[in-house]
């Protein structure tokens, strides 16, 4: 699986989603089944694909117990500190 570039907004989102999925002990297949989307979508999402369907993203967030919030700012996307993946580079699925 491609490692997302965490210097980009989509890369930060991808890394946070992957870390949360792993924290919950879900495979991409299990998450896809629960969220009603395919493994290909999750692979692309976790790889930091810059264009994704919002409805599918919202379904994935709901299964992961996360939500999308809008706030004033200029960073494009901010991930809460407690949701950022560990910096140790653990690549286990």
Residue 90 CA to residue 22 CA, distance in Å, equals: 11
Question: Residue 93: what pLDDT?
Answer: 44
Q: What is the pLDDT of residues 51-92, one digit of tens each?
A: 999 999 999 999 999 998 888 887 777 777 777 777 655 444
Residue 7: other Cβ atoms inside 10 A? 7
Fold of the 9-65 domain: 434 Repressor (Amino-terminal Domain) (1.10.260)
Question: Residue 46: what pLDDT?
Answer: 96
Question: Residue 2: what pLDDT?
Answer: 66
Domain ranges of the chain: 9-65
Q: What is the pLDDT of residues 2-60, one digit of tens each?
A: 677 778 889 999 999 999 999 999 999 999 999 999 999 999 999 999 999 999 999 99
Contact 47, 39 (CB under 8 A): no
- Residue 11: phi and psi, rounded to 5, are -70, -40
């Amino acid at each position: 699986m491609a490692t997302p570039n965490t210097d980009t907004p989509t890369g930060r989102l991808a890394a946070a989603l992957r870390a949360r999925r792993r924290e919950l002990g879900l495979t991409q297949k299990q998450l896809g089944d629960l969220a009603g989307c395919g493994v290909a979508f999750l692979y692309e999402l976790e790889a930091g694909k810059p264009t994704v369907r919002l409805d599918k993203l919202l379904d994935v967030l709901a299964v992961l117990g996360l939500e999308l919030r809008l706030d004033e700012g200029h960073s494009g996307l901010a991930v809460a500190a407690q949701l950022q993946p560990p910096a140790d580079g653990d690549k286990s699925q």
